[in-house]
Amino acid sequence: MKKQVTNELTHPHIQTISSSDAYRNFIHSCRSPATVETYNRALKCFMDFLKIDRNAYDQLLQKDPKLIQMDICNFIMYLRKEKNPPASSSAVSTYVAAINKFYAMNDLLFNQKRIKSNMGDHEKVAEDRPYTHSEIATLLANTALRNRAIILLMSSSGPRLGAIPLLRIKDLTPISVDNYNIYKIHYYALSKKSNYYSYCTPECRHEIDNYLEWRKRWGERLTDNSPLFRTDYNAVTGTVDGAVGSLGAPVSKSGIRNMMWVLLQHT
């Protein structure tokens, strides 16, 4: 009788790590909350592409490394050619960075020259420029109270989009200087490396205060840990954007993007 050869002997490179350990190795290496959110979403998209359950991280490690590398290259081509709409070159770079991080933290490295050759040249899809005063005024005139506060905060203190959902009320420090009432804002407060301070205009503080007062009038109990901006709450039905039990959920990056897109299309 022939002795059965185990999978570990025929493929010694295949990892036998648990799903929870694989994910923990990956996620604990991300330093900022914004990176955690972005990389987590990118990795789950890769898992969807491979038709792997979103919680089965160990299955990402159960192939020959050359086959995994081929999966990554195929995923890049899907993002560039088949996804509707196609991902931008910067978005593709983010997806690849997240995937490489996951495998590197689980001791799998690939031929990066081969992977990058599938990514194509970086293409600038838009001409970046700041909004003019008249454009900001037009946006403010056509939106709700919460969105006015977000627009003024972004235009006056200049944060990254990913910093907005992380803000809590305790991250604001009121300051009065020469009869000007402003806020000192602590961005990425939970990150030792990325945290920093910025300031907003008196107009921005006024809109934030009005927005917080509006939430109180609708029955929300605000605490220091309440999100500064959150999804809309209906006090009558007890729902947040149609989802029961989500009171206090912070507004998402995609929600802010959609809000800005809708405003720009109607101005």
Q: Which of 61, 88, 117 is the last residue of a domain?
A: 117
Is 170 or 118 the better-scoring residue by pLDDT? 170
Please report whether residue 213 resides in a domain: yes
Mean pLDDT of 234-255: 56
Mean pLDDT of 192-220: 92
* Cα(5)–Cα(18) distance, integer angstroms: 22
Could you tell me if 218 and 261 lie in one domain? yes
Please report whether residue 239 resides in a domain: yes
Alpha carbon of 110 to those of 46, 104, 211: distances in Å? 16, 9, 50
- Closest Cα partner for 225 from 186, 169, 265, 175? 169
Could you tell me if 155 and 251 lie in one domain? yes
Please report whether residue 1 resides in a domain: no
Highest mean pLDDT: which of 96-105, 226-235, 257-266?
Answer: 96-105
Please report whether residue 40 resides in a domain: yes
pLDDT digits (tens, 9 = 90+) for 43-55: 999 999 999 999 9
Please report whether residue 95 resides in a domain: yes
pLDDT digits (tens, 9 = 90+) for 7-54: 443 444 445 667 789 999 998 888 777 788 889 999 999 999 999 999
Could you tell me if 137 and 256 lie in one domain? yes
Q: Is 10 helix (H, G, I), strand (E, B) or coil?
A: helix
Please tell me the total count of domains within the chain.
Answer: 2
- Closest Cα partner for 112 from 72, 74, 77? 72
Could you tell me if 182 and 89 lie in one domain? no
Please report whether residue 125 resides in a domain: no
In this structure, the dihedral spanned by the alpha carbons of residues 149, 230, 188 and 141, taken in order and rounded to 10 degrees, is -20
Is 234 or 147 the better-scoring residue by pLDDT? 147
The total of other beta-carbon atoms located within 10 Å of residue 261's CB is 10
Please report whether residue 158 resides in a domain: yes
Please report whether residue 126 resides in a domain: no
Question: Can you tell me which residue has the tokens 């709409």?
Answer: 85
In sequence order, which ranges of the chain are alpha helices (DSSP H)? 7-10, 19-27, 33-49, 65-77, 89-105, 112-117, 133-140, 145-157, 202-217, 253-265
pTM over 0.75: no
Q: Which of 62, 84, 117 is the last residue of a domain?
A: 117
Could you tell me if 137 and 249 lie in one domain? yes
Q: Which of 90, 117, 144 is the last residue of a domain?
A: 117
Domain that holds residue 192: 133-265
